Structure 1
Amino acid sequence: MFLTALLLVVAADAYFILTTLADLFPLNNVREAKRSEQLTEVAVNGPILALPALLLVWAPAAGLPALAYAGAAAELLALLGGLALWWLPYLAGVTVPWATAGTGETWAALHARTYAKTVIVLPRRGERPRPNLEHMILHTLMLAAAVCTFAAATAL
C-alpha cells in the first residue's frame, strides 16, 4: 500500500504540473493562460502537492507513522481546496475567495478565458462555470492518493 500511495501522490503532482504548463488542448487550455499565471500556480501549488509524498517517505525512515497521517491529511486538504474551487461555483453558485487571487478577474471570466473551451462532460447549470475533465481527473487522482496514504499510514 505504501508504494501505491506514494505513486498516486507523485502522479497527482506530476499530472498537475504537466497540465498547468504543457499545452494538451482540448484537455487543457494553457495557451490562453498567461505564463506568469502558470508559473505562479506551479510555484504555489506544486510544493503543497509534493508535501504528502515527502511526509509519507519520511514517516517510516523516522519511525513516525504520524508523519504519514499528516501527509494523508495534507493531500485531503489540498483535494478539499480543489473541490471547493471547482465544485462550489458549479453546484452552489459560490466562488471561493482565492479562486482568482492576483489575476484581477472574476472566476467566471477566468474560467471563460482558460477552461470553457476544454473538454467538459458535466451539464450546464445556468451560467455557472463547470469543472472540466482535466480537473476531474486531478481530483480523482488526489482522492485515490489521500485514501491510499491513510491506508499506508495505518499499515506503518
Structure 2
Amino acid sequence: VDSMARQMKAEREKRANILEAEGFRQAAILKADGEKQAAILEAEGKREAAYREAEARERLAEAEAKATTMVSDAIAGGDINAINYFVANKYVEALKEMAHSPNQKVLMLPFEATGILGSLAGIAEIAKSAFDKSAANPPPPPSRAPPPVMR
C-alpha cells in the first residue's frame, strides 16, 4: 500500500511538472508572438508616417513653386509689390533665425526695420490677387496614390 501511494504521488508530480512546463512553453510562445505583432505594427506605423511626411513635403514644394511662379510673373509685369514681397520674406526669415538663436538675449533692429511694414502691404496685395486668380481657376483635386510597398 505504501509503495502504491508513493507511485501515485510520483505520477501526480510528474503530471504537474509536465503541465507546468507546458504552461511556461505557451507563455513564451504568446509573449514572442505579441512582440512580433508589436514590431510589425511599429514598422507599419513608421512606414505610414514616412509616406505622409513625404506627401506633405511634396505639397509644400508644389505650393512654393506656385508662389514663386506667381511672384516671378508679377515681377515680369513690373509689379513693385512682388519685389517688396521677396525682400519682406527674406527679412522675416532672417529675423526669425536671429530670434531662435539659443544664446540670443537681446535683438536689435535697425531703424529701417519699419520699412518692412510697407513690404507687408505688398505681400497682402499679391496674396489678394493670387486668391482672386485661384478662385476663378480652381486646381484639379490631387491624385492619391497608395503608399509604396517596402520590403
Scaled by the length of structure 2, the TM-score of the pair is: 0.30
Scaled by the length of structure 1, the TM-score of the pair is: 0.29
Highest Rg: 1 or 2? 2
The structure whose RCO (Cα within 8 Å, separation 6+) is larger is 1
The structure in which a higher percent of residues are helix is: 2
